Amino acid sequence: MLMHNPPHPGEIIKELCLEPLGISVTDAAEALGVTRKTLSAILNGRAGISPEMAIRLSIAFETSAESWLNQQSQYELWHAEQRRSELRVKKLVAA
């Protein structure tokens, strides 16, 4: 079952990981081994969590990479479902 309007994983990183630790975006990016621009795009919902980023986050925050990918998947699927009626798809049935 889909979560109702799940948050972007970047919001989770910002609100539950970085803010409680008092870590800046610059310091977090350095610790993750990515550019500040890359991390900022994720935190602001302009980019998603890739498998590699999921592994980086799992190492940095002692979580599972799967949990980060699942959050990203739930976010994307919910938004895609909102556009379901716009899709031009026909049901396929046996002849």
Q: What is the CATH number of the domain that holds 16?
A: 1.10.260.40
- CA–CA separation, 65 and 56 (whole Å): 8
Residue at 65: amino acid letter:
A
Residue 49 counted as domain residue: yes
Number of domains the chain is built from: 1
**pLDDT value for 46:** 98
Tokens of 15: 């609100």
The pTM for the full model equals 0.89
Residue 52 within any structural domain of the chain: yes
The residue among 58 and 4 whose pLDDT is bigger is 58
Q: Please determine, for residue 71, whether its predicted confidence score (pLDDT) is greater than 60.
A: yes
Q: What is the pLDDT of residues 6-63, one digit of tens each?
A: 999 999 999 999 999 999 999 999 999 999 999 999 999 999 999 999 999 999 999 9
Does any domain span residue 4?
no
Instruction: Please indicate, yes or no, if residue 58 is contained in any of the structural domains.
Output: yes
Q: Considering the domain boundaries, does residue 37 fall inside one?
A: yes
Dist CA 57 CA 34 (whole Å)? 11
- Does 79 fall in a domain? yes
Determine the average pLDDT of the residues in 63-73.
98
Side-chain half-sphere CA neighbours of 77 within 13 A: 10
Domain that holds residue 31: 9-86
